[in-house]
Amino acid sequence: MRPTRLALLTLAFSALAACSAPPTTGSTSTASTNTPYVPDTPTAYGPGDYCAETYVLLQPTTRSNFSLGSEYYRNGDYCAAYPYIKEILATEPLFTGEDPDDRNYLRMASIYEDFAANVDSTNQAERVAYLDSALTTRQAGVAALEREGIAYDSYLRDLREGFFYFQNSALYEDAEQKQFEAFTRAFEAKPDSLEDWYLTRLFAGSAAEFGDEIPNPERAAYIRSLSEAIDDAALRENYAQFATYIETEPSVQDQVAGTDAAVQSLLDDYNAGTLTGNRVFTLLATAQQQPERLTDLGADPEAVISGITRLPEIVDQVDNPRLLYALSVRARREGDTGRANELFQRAIANAESNAQRADFYYSAGQYDRALQVFPSHGPSLYRRTGLIGQAVGQPTTTEGRAAYWCLADLYRDVAARTSGTIAQNSRRAASAYERAAPTREQYFLNPGWRPGETVRASLGSYGSCTTRVR
């Protein structure tokens, strides 16, 4: 959490009254008045305490605002991107510079989710408020496309919605149902496109949707349709067996289900951490098919299902980098550091670009690694320099305060390598450190420096630096 409350200085060259109707899609001009206008109060316009002090100058055209908002968004500077994208959504929401689409809505939703992730964990109400805003924004995007008669692919949007509820299941009472509905829509649209991980979530939700009574031909038919789409042979066979089991009369189920001794053996291996291969899927199917059998054997079926869906045999089928990163965050939150690290490394390996790898490293607090793979990653450059400033602290000696010149140099370098708000804030920080550095009166006699002289200063745990006396 960043400590400074967001203060946005918003100046526009045109009247952007909140009650005015948005222009038609594709327009790029606004009314021509030079009167400064503040369209929102600072608290309403900005995301509260999450963002550091940010100054924004709205542009006279939608194209310019779109360009700036897009640049900040791609650089991961969501605080700076937020007001530009908000302005576009209020005026020309489907504007892209080319064919209209809902990318502005999708970007704003992602920004809200990022804000939610950075809310203090004790403030659940604020976190949910941001998440609700993300959901509402995505829905508004779809509605805008439909109003304009613009075709769109609902498949990816359904996957995104379902995974949203998977990630935030602890915050929404109906998360499991919402997740099932969204993934089902995606499955119905493209049954051969879903990764096996998504199909396991549908399998898990099928009991609540169709009931767990036996025989259950409707649920059996649904699960058989899932099995036909599964790539993993062992999992496919287990689902097919379960479909047969739940459409079988109880009098002959023992022929399908296996013995209690066999189930106990699976549980023993699971508890010992030695459950592998096809046996993973057998226990998963049993826990989902016959939870009462696990209960009778002293096991919690829901805990077993939750644990199995995080085992390598299940998760290793996922290759989407953003999904892998989200799973790594969840694993770390649950205290499974080893699994979190493994998933994180797979996200890094599967990343679509070095810029995306840098985003993952940055989110994980690994700023040096982010800069190794993407040297111009603005958020990491700015954050690493801030950490050096924290290491320097507030030295009391003239020699110690020479480090402020080094910090000014570092921030100017960040400003030269970045753009937008990061560059602006870096220049502001450089000026502040210059003002706090020793004056000529302070260094002339002790230690006797002269302007232009090269000196070395300590950067605390970051070593030392060489700089020029001002």
Reported as a single tens digit per residue, the pLDDT across 147-171 is: 999 988 888 889 889 988 888 888 8
Residue (of 335, 384, 386) closest to 358 by Cα position: 384
Residues 287 and 368 in one domain: no
pLDDT on residue 134: 92
CB neighbour burial string for 166-203, b if at least 16 within 10 angstroms, e if fewer = bbbeeebeebbebbbbbbbbbbeeeeeebbbbbbbbbb
User: Is 178 part of a structural domain of the chain?
Assistant: no
**Of 273, 288, 317, which residue constitutes the final position of a domain?**
317
pLDDT on residue 42: 32
Residues 400 and 346 in one domain: no
Residues 292 and 362 in one domain: no
CA dihedral for 437, 441, 446, 452, sign (positive or negative): positive
Residues 348 and 428 in one domain: no
Residues 138 and 270 in one domain: no
User: Is 180 part of a structural domain of the chain?
Assistant: no
pLDDT on residue 49: 55
Residues 369 and 385 in one domain: no
User: Is 172 part of a structural domain of the chain?
Assistant: no
56 backbone dihedrals φ, ψ, rounded to 5°: -125, 135
AA identity, residue 73? Y
Residue (of 46, 54, 56, 58) closest to 12 by Cα position: 58
List residues bridging with 10 in a β-sheet. 56
Question: In total, how many domains does the chain have?
Answer: 4
- What is the four-CA torsion angle of 338, 340, 341, 347, rounded to 10 degrees? 150
Residues 123 and 230 in one domain: no
User: Is 393 part of a structural domain of the chain?
Assistant: yes
User: Is 188 part of a structural domain of the chain?
Assistant: no
Residues 303 and 413 in one domain: no
Whether the CB-CB separation of 290 and 257 falls below 8 Å is answered with: yes
Each residue's pLDDT, cut to its tens digit, for the chain (470 residues) gives 333 323 333 322 222 222 222 223 333 333 323 222 233 333 333 455 556 555 567 788 899 889 988 888 887 778 888 889 999 999 999 999 888 999 999 999 988 888 887 777 677 888 888 899 999 999 999 999 999 999 888 888 898 899 888 888 888 888 889 999 999 999 998 888 888 888 888 988 888 888 877 778 888 889 888 888 888 777 777 788 778 777 765 544 444 445 677 788 888 888 888 887 667 777 877 787 678 888 888 889 888 877 776 676 666 766 778 778 877 877 777 778 888 888 899 889 988 888 888 888 988 888 889 989 988 888 888 888 988 988 898 888 999 999 999 999 999 888 888 877 788 788 888 888 888 889 888 888 778 898 889 999 999 889 999 999 99
Residue (of 384, 387, 391, 434) closest to 414 by Cα position: 384
277 backbone dihedrals φ, ψ, rounded to 5°: 60, -145
Going along 75-172, which residue ranges are E strands? none
Residue 328 burial (C-beta neighbours within 10 Å; 0-12, 13-18, 19+): buried
List residues bridging with 294 in a β-sheet. none
User: Is 56 part of a structural domain of the chain?
Assistant: yes
pLDDT on residue 21: 27
- Give residue-wise pLDDT tens across range 85-97: 999 999 999 999 8
Residues 27 and 114 in one domain: yes
150 backbone dihedrals φ, ψ, rounded to 5°: -95, 125
Residue 392 burial (C-beta neighbours within 10 Å; 0-12, 13-18, 19+): buried
Whether the CB-CB separation of 258 and 286 falls below 8 Å is answered with: yes
Whether the CB-CB separation of 50 and 2 falls below 8 Å is answered with: yes
Residues 14 and 64 in one domain: yes
CB neighbour burial string for 19-37, b if at least 16 within 10 angstroms, e if fewer = eeeeeebeeeebeeeeeee
* Residue found under tokens 């640049």: 71
- Give residue-wise pLDDT tens across range 379-396: 888 888 988 988 898 888
First to last CA, the chain: 35
Range of the domain at 112: 1-152
List residues bridging with 465 in a β-sheet. 457
Rounded CA-CA distance 15/265 in Å is 72
Packing angle, helices 154-167 and 175-189, rounded to 10: 160
- Give residue-wise pLDDT tens across range 173-207: 888 899 999 999 999 988 888 888 888 889 888 88
Residues 222 and 313 in one domain: yes
417 backbone dihedrals φ, ψ, rounded to 5°: -100, -5
- Give residue-wise pLDDT tens across range 309-332: 667 666 676 677 877 887 787 777
pLDDT on residue 48: 53
User: Is 277 part of a structural domain of the chain?
Assistant: yes
User: Is 20 part of a structural domain of the chain?
Assistant: yes
Rounded CA-CA distance 320/314 in Å is 14
Whether the CB-CB separation of 113 and 137 falls below 8 Å is answered with: no
H-assigned helices in 364-402: 367-373, 378-392, 398-401
CA dihedral for 62, 65, 68, 69, sign (positive or negative): negative
pLDDT on residue 102: 93
Rounded CA-CA distance 7/56 in Å is 9
Residues 281 and 345 in one domain: no
3-state helix, strand, coil in the chain (%, to 5): 65, 5, 35
